[in-house]
Amino acid sequence: MKLTGESLFIGAIGVAAAAAVVIDAAAFGHGVRVLAFPAAIATAMIAMIVLRLSGIIRTGGGDATGGAGHADSASRDAMGWLAAAFGAVAVVGATIALPAIALLYARNKGAGWAASMALSIAMFTLVYGVFGLLLGKSMPSLLGLV
The CA-atom distances, in angstroms, between 89 and each of 85, 86, 92, 124 are 6, 5, 5, 9
Nearest to 64 by CA among 131, 141, 137, 4: 4
Site size with another protein, rule: CB under 8 A? 42
Residue 81 binds to another protein (criterion: CB under 8 A): no
Residue 129 binds to another protein (criterion: CB under 8 A): no
Q: How many CB atoms lie within 10 A of CB 88?
A: 13
Q: What angle is formed at CA 116 by the lines to CA 113 and CA 121, rounded to 5 degrees?
A: 125
CA 117 from centre of chain: 13
In angstroms, give the least distance from the CB of 45 to another protein.
4
In angstroms, give the least distance from the CB of 146 to another protein.
27
In angstroms, give the least distance from the CB of 138 to another protein.
26
Q: How far apart are CA 67 and CA 124, in angstroms?
A: 26
Pick the binder of another protein from 89, 104, 111, 139 (CB under 8 A): 111
Residue 50 binds to another protein (criterion: CB under 8 A): no
Enumerate binding residues for another protein (CB under 8 A): 5-6, 9-10, 13, 17, 20, 23-24, 28, 30, 33-35, 37-38, 41-42, 44-45, 48-49, 51-52, 55, 58-59, 62-69, 71, 75, 111-113, 115-116
